[in-house]
Structure 1
Amino acid sequence: MNPSRSTATAPSGSAAPSVSAPPAPPSTASTFAHEDTLPRVPLPTLADSCTRFLSWCGPLLTPEERAATEAEVAAFSGPDGPGPVLQAALEEYDRTPGVHSWLDTFWPYRYLGRRDRIALNANFFFLFQDTGQPQVERAAGLIGAAVAYKRRLDREEIPPVVLRGAPQTMEQNKYLFSTTRIPGAQQDTVRHPYSEEWPGPSDARHVVVFFRGTMYRMDVLGPDGTPYALDDLAAGLSAVMKAGAEPAAPDTSVGHLTTMARADWAATRETLRAHPGNAAALDDIETALFCVCLEDFAPADTQETCDELLYGDRGNRWFDKAVSFVVFADGRAGINVEHCGLDGTTILSFVDTLLGTPAGEQSRESGARVQGRPEFSALTFELDDALQARIRTAAEAFAQYGADTATRTVSFEDFGSTAAKALRVSPDAFVQLAYQLAHQRAKGRLGATYESIATRQWRRGRTEAMRVVTPETQAFVAAMEDPTADAAARRAAFRAAATAHVTRAKECQAGDAPEQHLWELELIQRRRGAELGITEQPALYRSPGWQIMRDDYLSTSSAPSEHIQYFGFGSTSSRCIGIAYVLLPDRFNLYLSTPRPVADQMHAFADHLRAAVTELRELLAGE
């Protein structure tokens, strides 16, 4: 079992396709032109969030549990309860000059406050479509395209995303390059450009290349800031691989340390920095534009490739780095992303730009020119016996953690969003209802289900937490499992559940959702309880409704892009199945993950899901 995952959250993918519209034509405005004029995230009223909370958790509760939760909600929100005091404090904070959103302190806590490991638990990956290119050529192309993107971003020439006529926040683009999560004893921090400590775009000219457990600093921009030509980059990568022909000595690959729990890694990092020369090497890693992880092997199949992208290690990763491109010996490639400043929608836009135009064309447009092989040098660390022992222990513990994780890829070659639309149903509603039916059949019950909904139309908006199970979902699953229900009754139940799903997704996009609001009120009590006269955690947060609603059985997020094969992340609790899905017009690919003790249930879920999709298609086709 992996109890440390119980506080995790699924990565934030795209808004549900059921409530999204095709992007508008590219804007001519500069990248960050709309940031200060975007509408603020609306702050729900306490009454609205309490009402929605009871509605959301209700389907998961017994009558006794619901009664107990209702009592705690009444005590929390009543005139003499803690809720109004906490809400007033949040409203005051929201009005404070310089505050962009009432969620400004929520997001750092949610992502930077977690104390377990982020490797596998929080980072997410995309597996790119294959190109057939050799490893070095593929890696050079990704570097050249990423540098071209950065050059455009520096000039604010990346057009703002516009959906349904509404500009979306582009703030997360500031975290793409030279961004590194720094472990802390109590809460992590982020070292990044566009900050008070590092104003404006990154001025770094290098990346960090991993090969066989050794790190190399390699320039990708010349001394005058001109990008290296692709052939130059390929020559540099080939030279790195030649220099690293021998694997790193045992217990010297410092990247293993980034797999540790955060407080342990923070203490180890301070010990590491105390050795002369190590601080400079860390600085090179932390300021690098991004990482390029070259592997000396080719995974056996697609699932192994996905697993390697999610939790492959061998000392060949720096999981704290915002962006790490991973390229295998056969040229297959993908990306591993540190989640604290980057959601799936931003990475999708980034990846679509990198892969949507030939790398050579992007490189030429960036002004790249032949400059000869770029400079590179190995990053070495002074390691005493104690540090080497920590590296060894970290490597062994993470290898076991990966082994304790069960995963599976599922691919539907004959189903996609086009087929769902032909049945007059939201594609996302269709697959989410299929998940519920499959879960009921695999585990004998429904359970709390999380879906990430993008809210980037708000100033510095990120995502909202949607809870999928509604009374209509329950009724639909019951009808499908009732041998006496005829096709018409089942279709009616499906249509009602799909409509309820779309309605709730739209409410989440509009900011009308209770979970993050009530969670932030709890965090205010933790931070300021003594000052506000609320010295104990309100009992609402120990109620059956709060605990059961947030105890994920399924944690889901979507990433629709024709340039990726699979998207994936780790399970978010000891019995949860993580579902990362790519739903496109002509295909539907999923990556499932769960702790190994419940692997059989995950595999049963996958089998039932395949049957459920076929069953629902036949049911709706009969109308």
Structure 2
Amino acid sequence: MAEAHQAVAFQFTITPEGIDLQLSHQALNQIFLSGVRSWKKRVSRMRNRVIKGVYPASPSSWLFVVIAILATMYMRSDPSMGLIKMIQEHKTSFPHMDCTQGQTMLSALVFSTLLWLSLILALRFCLKLLLSYHQWMFEQHGRVSNTTKVWVTLLRLLSSRKPLLYSYQTSLPHLPVPPIKDTVSRYLTSARPLLTDPEFERMTKLAGQFEANLGNRLQRYLRLKALWATNYVSDWWEEYIYLRGRGPIMVNSNYYGMVTSRLPLNVTAWTNATKTNILHLFYLHVRLGQSRVPGTVIPLCAAQCERMFNTTRTPGVETDVLQHWQDSEFVAVYHRGRFFRLWVYLAGRLLSPRELEHQIQRILDDPSPPQPGEEKLGALTAGERVPWFQMRERHFSSGINKRSLDCIERAAFFVTLDDEEQGMRGEDPAGNLDRYAKSLLHGKCYDRWFDKSFSIVIYKNGKSGLNAEHSWADAPTVAHLWEYTLATDAFQLGYTEDGHCKGDVDRSLPPPQRLAWDIPSEAQASSSLVVAQALADDVDCHVFPFRDFGKGRIKKLRVSPDAFIQIGLQLAYFRDRGGFCLTYEASMTRLFREGRTETVRSCSNESSAFVRALETKEAVDQCRHLFRLASERHQNLYRMAMTGAGIDRHLFCLYVVSKYLGVDSPFLKEVLSEPWRLSTSQTPVQQMELFDLKNHPDFISLGGGFGPVADDGYGVSYIIVGEDMINFHVSSKHSCSETDSHRFGVQISKALQDIMNLLADPKSQTTSKCQQAQPQSKKQL
């Protein structure tokens, strides 16, 4: 059994003379220091609330207004045009003040405060109007209109003060509800390349009937919600797309992120430096996130950052619940089948990286074996949600199991000290990278806690990565944290020559606490592990760096890198499967308050026309022309999605309203049931100011990936690394005979090369299509 480590503040014994009270001064001192830190945090939060609450004004501006009003009154002038005197006449407001001069001063103070608050509201209104302007996104690079120039000037003027993380929240516009006519029209346009003429004619008729009858009724309810709610999409999206899913969230929902390809100098196997610097930096990011926001002219909604730490998804019968706690001073650590609570704060101060390294070494040196059922306990979070809920209610709702489970769920985040080695180096770098991805996506199915907001995985050879739960936020929020951690670790914290963290160690630190369990045999023989292992074994992951060229060469062609890659994916899929499919590309809507994502339907009439022209060996000039049209169309679709004019979130919300009203729509039912056989996402590099991207490209994350959305489809994630490399993550299922992640990876590389060859040489006399024999599938070898 695990030992219980407790700090006893006082003891007492009963003697013949009475009660002998013995106080522990050290323990009381720790309690005092902890209380001091708690009050400091409260004061800091209150200060931050005031600063962001009055933004874009400042608290000091109130004093300026008061002094200005008093100064004008001293000069025998009434700036309030009688309002101060009117306030003064209401003597009932100041019953204990008889002095006329004092009442005048107090009336001026009240007026100044009201005037200051009115100015703040006016500034916020102006800021919201400015942030509602999105035409700048649709202007060509280098051709900025005068309207946009004036808009940028005004926005910078109102945002001249350095904002905090949540300063812009109340000034962000609400996501607009598109006209139903526009959404239906855009849907039919997006569906055209995927349907035959009879199918398209039938769908057009269904859409017309929906728009003319039920659609307008559902739209009225949706507009009413948009007037009342902060965002008409996000709460339903979180509940129905994520929390109501009853299947495993491992692979199906959670996603992973990789670390860079370079390790810190002189860090060898089982050296704890990389582990502890990461833990230390995550807690620094907590502090940073409460007080600062990266400098940008265009603010993004920060609502997703609120639940980054101290958050857990807990299972239910019909729906899961996201639980978030205000603070947590510890992390939960898993190592060789044992769970530990590792305190990151001591006496109100954050432990140094060297002290955390010392504490982790204690965990590594702990020889105690796992308790019965402890080693594979995490599999409960990897399987179906209802069995996990039932097991939780029966065996983890009281006693020692509940206390230990609370330690995991209330932790800031989860850490796995993996006893395997991962990375892309060695005798088989390509295969190692694929195994690295699979390990981060699902591991052994029981050595991650998939319910936590995110879990850090640190391997025996110092490589690391993370696995993130999806319902609380989208990947860019986690990527922002990951970028900050990796860059600060490499360029600011650093390591000693012998590969340890810098700093001193307080040898009196209490050891990490083993969590105790009393797990019955029924909970140990869980079916969740069987379900999870079958799901994990079915995932086919392939990660590969495309090094032939990157965004530098693409941008020289005056083409959007994202559009270039997305059209390349359409070409690759056509060659792989012999046709087109409904394609999902994630786009953010964080220009709006509480915005999350929108879908860009990358398979368009223009992209399919280009692919067909290329594959049928049409003239080079015609292929180039069609590619330019496809690229411009894709960029326009992306901009429309970001500015609230997308298709899928609007149709999704209309469908939810129809379910609440108990009415069926054949049109909505068919649209919402269409499979996304190609699901794609770009991992953006957001904080380029952290380090020199050109001279240190190896310090960028290799991006991350996710499981396939459809059983017979592909999941593709990519990150543009520097100027000369694009890293791809491809996933599919072994159980589908028509898909193969490695084969599709080859097709992606070839498609990008063929498009570049087409665009790069205007005088080329060769045909636009330069096909080779189709690569053999690894399933056929």
Normalising by structure 2, we get a TM-score of: 0.70
Match of 1:579 among 702, 716, 727: 716
Match of 2:277 among 141, 157, 181: 141
Deviation for aligned residue 1:19 = 10
Deviation for aligned residue 1:210 = 0.7
User: In structure 1, what residue type is equivalent to 2:663?
Assistant: E
Bigger drift between 248-257 and 115-124 goes to 248-257
Bigger drift between 320-329 and 368-377 goes to 368-377
User: In structure 1, what residue type is equivalent to 2:730?
Assistant: L
Match of 1:216 among 309, 331, 340: 340
Cα contact 2:354–2:504 (8 A) shared by 1:
no
Aligned counterpart, 1:186: 318
Match of 2:592 among 422, 444, 458: 458
Mapped to 2, the partners of 1:356 and 1:251 lie a distance apart of 35
1:204 aligns with 2:328: yes
Deviation for aligned residue 1:246 = 4.2
Mapped to 2, the partners of 1:26 and 1:598 lie a distance apart of 55
User: SS at the partner of 1:36?
Assistant: helix
1:278 aligns with 2:415: no
Mapped to 2, the partners of 1:466 and 1:33 lie a distance apart of 29
Bigger drift between 350-359 and 138-147 goes to 350-359
1:401 aligns with 2:401: no
The equivalences for 1:19-168 within 5 A come to 28-78=162-212, 81-96=213-228, 99-129=230-260, 130-132=262-264, 133-134=267-268, 135=270, 136-153=272-289, 156-160=290-294, 162=296, 165-168=297-300
Mapped to 1, the partners of 2:138 and 2:225 lie a distance apart of 34
The equivalences for 1:141-540 within 5 A come to 141-153=277-289, 156-160=290-294, 162=296, 165-193=297-325, 202-224=326-348, 226-243=349-366, 246=369, 249=372, 252-299=375-422, 301-313=432-444, 315-358=446-489, 361=492, 370-372=505-507, 373-390=509-526, 393-483=527-617, 485-526=618-659, 528-529=660-661, 535-540=662-667
Aligned counterpart, 2:704: 567
Task: Write out per-residue CA displacement over residues 110-140 of structure 1, whole angstroms, 9 at most, x where no aligned residue.
Answer: 2212111111111111111132434411110
Deviation for aligned residue 1:217 = 0.6
Task: Write out per-residue CA displacement over residues 553-602 of structure 1, whole angstroms, 9 at most, x where no aligned residue.
Answer: 21000113362113110000111100011113221111111111336543
Cα contact 1:228–1:371 (8 A) shared by 2:
no
Measured at CA, do residues 251 and 142 of structure 1 come closer, stay the same or move farther in structure 2, by a change above 3 Å? closer
User: In structure 2, what residue type is equivalent to 1:33?
Assistant: S
Task: Write out per-residue CA displacement over residues 495-550 of structure 1, whole angstroms, 9 at most, x where no aligned residue.
Answer: 11111111111111111111111111111222x21xxxxx332111233x5544xx
Deviation for aligned residue 1:160 = 4.8
User: SS at the partner of 1:381?
Assistant: coil
Task: Write out per-residue CA displacement over residues 363-389 of structure 1, whole angstroms, 9 at most, x where no aligned residue.
Answer: 99xxx9854445411122221121111
Cα contact 1:112–1:340 (8 A) shared by 2:
yes
User: SS at the partner of 1:457?
Assistant: coil
Deviation for aligned residue 1:611 = 1.3
Aligned counterpart, 1:619: 758
Task: Write out per-residue CA displacement over residues 42-64 of structure 1, whole angstroms, 9 at most, x where no aligned residue.
Answer: 11111111111111112211112
Cα contact 2:551–2:720 (8 A) shared by 1:
yes
Deviation for aligned residue 1:396 = 2.9
Cα contact 2:624–2:759 (8 A) shared by 1:
yes
Mapped to 2, the partners of 1:206 and 1:20 lie a distance apart of 49
User: SS at the partner of 1:565?
Assistant: coil
Structure possessing the higher radius of gyration over alpha carbons: 2
Deviation for aligned residue 1:318 = 0.4
* Larger RCO (CA within 8 A; separation ≥ 6): 1
Mapped to 1, the partners of 2:545 and 2:494 lie a distance apart of 34
Cα contact 1:101–1:460 (8 A) shared by 2:
no
Mapped to 2, the partners of 1:19 and 1:401 lie a distance apart of 46
User: SS at the partner of 1:598?
Assistant: coil
Unaligned 5+ residue runs, structure 1? 1-16, 194-201, 530-534
Cα contact 1:144–1:362 (8 A) shared by 2:
no
Mapped to 2, the partners of 1:143 and 1:359 lie a distance apart of 14
User: In structure 2, what residue type is equivalent to 1:131?
Assistant: L
Measured at CA, do residues 177 and 360 of structure 1 come closer, stay the same or move farther in structure 2, by a change above 3 Å? farther
Measured at CA, do residues 27 and 379 of structure 1 come closer, stay the same or move farther in structure 2, by a change above 3 Å? farther
Cα contact 1:168–1:458 (8 A) shared by 2:
yes
Mapped to 2, the partners of 1:321 and 1:422 lie a distance apart of 43
Deviation for aligned residue 1:73 = 1.2
- Number of matched pairs: 575
Measured at CA, do residues 334 and 18 of structure 1 come closer, stay the same or move farther in structure 2, by a change above 3 Å? farther
User: SS at the partner of 1:466?
Assistant: strand
Mapped to 1, the partners of 2:619 and 2:388 lie a distance apart of 58
Mapped to 2, the partners of 1:238 and 1:422 lie a distance apart of 50
User: SS at the partner of 1:597?
Assistant: coil
Measured at CA, do residues 525 and 371 of structure 1 come closer, stay the same or move farther in structure 2, by a change above 3 Å? farther
Measured at CA, do residues 229 and 601 of structure 1 come closer, stay the same or move farther in structure 2, by a change above 3 Å? closer
Cα contact 1:232–1:374 (8 A) shared by 2:
no
Aligned counterpart, 2:149: none
Mapped to 1, the partners of 2:559 and 2:623 lie a distance apart of 15
Mapped to 1, the partners of 2:166 and 2:140 lie a distance apart of 22
Measured at CA, do residues 477 and 19 of structure 1 come closer, stay the same or move farther in structure 2, by a change above 3 Å? farther
Task: Write out per-residue CA displacement over residues 143-162 of structure 1, whole angstroms, 9 at most, x where no aligned residue.
Answer: 00011111223xx2221563
Measured at CA, do residues 68 and 113 of structure 1 come closer, stay the same or move farther in structure 2, by a change above 3 Å? same
Deviation for aligned residue 1:274 = 3.7
User: SS at the partner of 1:70?
Assistant: helix
Mapped to 2, the partners of 1:430 and 1:265 lie a distance apart of 44
Cα contact 2:255–2:705 (8 A) shared by 1:
yes
Unaligned 5+ residue runs, structure 2? 1-136, 142-155, 424-431, 496-502, 686-698, 763-781
Normalising by structure 1, we get a TM-score of: 0.87
User: In structure 2, what residue type is equivalent to 1:277?
Assistant: I
Task: Write out per-residue CA displacement over residues 162-193 of structure 1, whole angstroms, 9 at most, x where no aligned residue.
Answer: 3xx22111111111110111111111110113
Aligned counterpart, 2:39: none
User: In structure 2, what residue type is equivalent to 1:340?
Assistant: S
Deviation for aligned residue 1:212 = 1.2
Cα contact 2:231–2:595 (8 A) shared by 1:
no
User: SS at the partner of 1:29?
Assistant: coil
Mapped to 2, the partners of 1:503 and 1:189 lie a distance apart of 37
The equivalences for 1:590-605 within 5 A come to 590-598=728-736, 600-605=739-744
Mapped to 1, the partners of 2:706 and 2:437 lie a distance apart of 10
| Identical columns (%) | 27
Deviation for aligned residue 1:100 = 4.0
